[in-house]
């Protein structure tokens, strides 16, 4: 089983992430940030990853530190669970519709952390959640998961739909990229022999 447990403790957050890439989409999420709990639950379900996340953060300041540090810890967990990436598909992409919203995501588990994002969100907040934190989360995740992640909003008007569609699309792209290809189960998917 491809699993990882990551603990991250700073002066701003205390986080534990448990991840099973070969799960069934079960999750237990308690971040102290309600909207992020909802998004991580969707990531788990649509990626078919078993995911447990707990965070005690300085949310009396705002949600920034918790959101970014959870992205870091989750990215670290993906990198650890993937190991040498032997046999993985490596690439995944999804165009996901959600009502009026259409989100494209594409991932390469390349060993190189990069986020390219074009995600105009029309409001500054969804509930109490600062929508600019979506980019912060995915940037932290991509760099620590050591993946190239592209996200594009092809259509959208409702901020909640745009963000939810993004997490679902990324989840499904990751699900495809981490999948083991039985025909190449003993190979590193790179001509360099390492990712």
Can you list the alpha helix ranges (DSSP code H) found in 17-145? Answer: 34-47, 64-82, 133-145
Q: Which residue has the tokens 């039985």?
A: 182
Contacts of 182 (CB under 8 A, 6+ apart): none
Task: Report if residue 60 sits inside a domain.
Answer: yes
Counting every residue, how long is the chain?
A: 195
**SS3 state of residue 143:** helix
* DSSP symbol at 182: G
Nearest by Cα to 80 from 12, 20, 132? 20
**Contact in structure between 87 and 22 (CB atoms under 8 Å):** no
**Confidence band, pLDDT 50/70/90 cuts, at residue 27:** very high
- What range defines the domain where residue 123 resides? 3-184
pLDDT digits (tens, 9 = 90+) for 41-80: 999 999 999 999 999 999 999 999 999 999 999 999 999 9
Average pLDDT over residues 110-118: 98
- Residue 194, exposed/middle/buried by CB under 10 A (0-12, 13-18, 19+)? exposed
In the predicted structure, residue 192 carries a pLDDT above the cut 90: no
**Contact in structure between 125 and 163 (CB atoms under 8 Å):** no
Task: Report if residue 191 sits inside a domain.
Answer: no
Task: Report if residue 190 sits inside a domain.
Answer: no
pLDDT digits (tens, 9 = 90+) for 82-99: 999 999 999 999 999 999
Task: Report if residue 194 sits inside a domain.
Answer: no
The β-bridge relationship of strands 50-57 and 3-9 is: unpaired
At 49 the pLDDT is: 98
Percent of the chain at pLDDT exceeding 90: 93
Query: Where residue 157 sits, what CATH number does that domain have?
Result: 3.30.230.40
In the predicted structure, residue 193 carries a pLDDT above the cut 90: no
What's the pTM value of the predicted model, to 2 decimals? 0.97
At 35 the pLDDT is: 98
Can you list the alpha helix ranges (DSSP code H) found in 60-158? Answer: 64-82, 133-145
At 191 the pLDDT is: 84
Task: Report if residue 189 sits inside a domain.
Answer: no
Domain tally, the chain: 1
How high is the mean pLDDT of the chain? 97
Nearest-angstrom CA–CA distance, 109 and 178 = 8
């Amino acid at each position: 089983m491809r699993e990882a447990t990551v603990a991250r403790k700073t002066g701003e957050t205390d986080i534990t992430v448990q991840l099973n890439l070969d799960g069934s989409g079960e999750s237990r999420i308690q971040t102290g940030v309600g909207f992020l709990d909802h998004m991580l639950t969707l990531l788990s379900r649509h990626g078919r990853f078993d995911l447990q996340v707990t965070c005690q953060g300085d949310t009396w300041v705002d949600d920034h530190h918790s959101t970014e540090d959870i992205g870091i810890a989750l990215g670290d967990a993906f990198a650890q669970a993937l190991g040498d990436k032997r046999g993985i598909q490596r690439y995944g992409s999804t165009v996901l519709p959600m009502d009026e919203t259409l989100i494209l995501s594409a991932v390469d588990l390349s060993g190189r952390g990069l986020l390219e994002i074009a995600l105009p969100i029309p409001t500054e907040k969804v509930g109490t959640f600062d929508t600019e934190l979506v980019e912060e989360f995915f940037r932290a995740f991509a760099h620590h998961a050591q993946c190239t992640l592209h996200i594009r909003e092809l259509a959208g008007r409702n901020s909640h739909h745009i963000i939810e569609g993004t997490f679902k699309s990324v989840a499904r792209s990751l699900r495809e990229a981490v999948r083991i290809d039985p025909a190449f189960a003993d190979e590193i998917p790179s001509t360099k022999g390492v990712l």
